[in-house]
Amino acid sequence: MNNIEKTYDLIVIGGGLVGLASAYKIQKKMPQIKILILEKEKELALHQSGRNSGVLHSGLYYKPESYRAKNCVAGRRELVDFAKKHQINHEVCGKLVVAKNEKESLALPALLKRGRNNGLENLEIIDAKKIQEIEPFVRGFSAIWVPETGIIDYRAVANKFASLIKKINSESEILTNSQVLKITHRSNNSIIHTQNRIFTGSKIISCAGLFSDRLAKEDGLKLDFKIVGFRGDYYTLTEKAKHKVNNIIYPVPNPEFPFLGVHFTRMINGEIECGPNAVFTFKREGYNKMSFSLQDTLDSLTYIGTWKLFINHWQFGLKEMVKASSKNVFLKHLQQLIPSLETSDIESGRSGVRAMALGRDGEIIEDFQIITKGNSIHVLNAPSPAATACLSIGERVALEFLKKYN
């Protein structure tokens, strides 16, 4: 093993928000240990962490007592405090969850109750007149006003975690362009192989996002689910239409589907994003409509869970594909909330890919999945609101690490 370059107390795989937050929490608790963070891209937080909606989620939708609900509410509050302390651009601006008609309005009391059970404060159901006072161009029957929702620069959060880790311990390192290819274990440590370097670490934490299941299998875990990617495309409002959205506008969610529907978000840079849709992607990190990976495609389409999801929700999937292929169809969905929008008001924007953990039965595993084995901790499923909840998830990972380290 002469080619092993350096030894660390902890190696974290993945330079997204969850990996960085976990490393930051551990470094704060144990300033003396040397941590190595390996990120395969040239910069930190380039995938789900940097391509999400930029929303500080409130915790309104999630099942009470689930990890998603508890981590979102606690994590949001902690992240807002963190952003204030470190001058990270953010704003707690509030959002509307709009019922377009009387039928949808019937769902609001239960949603309000769920939010209150999750610990949200100052929620209220408002009427059409109040909606227009908050968002003058929105037309709705009624809505829930969620004052604790906000927006933030998540890339800046990731970079701040990185700088603080180095500030606490100058011997800790963060290496980009370092894709992990192989993990091997010895009795008291683990060996990580990248493209051209080899490292050894006493403990391993894997936070690999869209590739979390593959790294877990490489590490010897047997999983009963698979990560399947769904691309979300956004439009942005043109300069002449930006005035039609003040902050954040969501539709009432359909409880049968895991996606929240197209919504409007004022980004921290002042742009207004509209979207996303949700379509199956043929490449796990494929951000264009023509992106394709044979390995990723075969991996997804030879999995029984993918086909069961397609069969169970084929009508929803078909609508999303049509929406993705037609600007006019997408616009019609947006006009359900803001009827005055015109074709010239929207232009194609960016896209992101969401990692969905699918069971063999085609059901989406909605809650966070953190599994420990030997020297390793694997964060295997961190769906939205993982960015908002990153510090809370990181705290949980840190506590798991402390059990192993002591």
What is the tens place of the pLDDT at every residue in 350-392?
A: 999 999 999 999 999 988 999 999 999 999 999 899 999 999 9
Q: What is the pLDDT of residue 258?
A: 59
Segment 218-226 mean pLDDT: 94
Segment 48-57 mean pLDDT: 94
**Among candidates 379, 403, 377, which has minimal Cα distance to 30?**
403
Q: What is the pLDDT of residue 1?
A: 43
pLDDT above 70: residue 47: yes
Q: What is the pLDDT of residue 196?
A: 87
- Tokens matching residue 70: 């508890």
9-23, 54-68, 166-180, range with the lowest pLDDT: 54-68
Q: How many Cα atoms are found within 13 Å in the side-chain-facing hemisphere of 389?
A: 22
Per-residue DSSP letters for 348-373? EEEEEEEEEEEETTS-B--S-EEEEE
Q: What is the pLDDT of residue 187?
A: 83
User: Residues 318-342: pLDDT tens digits?
Assistant: 999 999 999 999 999 999 999 999 9
- Which has the higher per-residue pLDDT, 28 or 261? 28
16-20, 121-125, 255-259, 300-304, range with the lowest pLDDT: 255-259
CA separation, residue 222 to residues 131, 359, 373, 404 (Å): 49, 13, 11, 21
Q: CB within 8 A of 100, min separation 6: which ones?
A: 139, 140, 141, 251, 252, 336, 337
Segment 7-36 mean pLDDT: 98
Q: What is the pLDDT of residue 259?
A: 67
Label residue 186 by pLDDT band (50, 70, 90): confident
**Among candidates 77, 5, 81, 80, which has minimal Cα distance to 36?**
5
Q: What is the pLDDT of residue 225?
A: 96
- Which has the higher per-residue pLDDT, 259 or 107? 107
- Tokens matching residue 220: 């010897």
Q: What domains appear along the chain, each with residue ranges and CATH number? A: 6-49+155-224+366-405 (3.50.50.60), 89-150+228-359 (3.30.9.10)
Q: What is the pLDDT of residue 260?
A: 73
User: Hey, is 379 helix, strand or coil?
Assistant: strand
Q: In this structure, how many other beta carbons lie within 10 angstroms of the beta carbon of residue 46?
A: 18
- Does residue 192 contact residue 201 with C-beta atoms inside 8 Å? yes
For strands 248-251 and 95-99, give the pairing.
Answer: parallel
User: Residues 60-114: pLDDT tens digits?
Assistant: 999 999 999 999 999 999 999 999 999 999 999 999 999 999 999 999 999 999 9
Per cent of the chain over pLDDT 70 is 98
Rounded CA-CA distance 287/231 in Å is 7
Q: What are φ and ψ of residue 37, in 5° steps?
A: -110, 125
* Helix or strand run (H / E) with residue 125: strand 124-127
Average predicted confidence (pLDDT) for the chain: 95
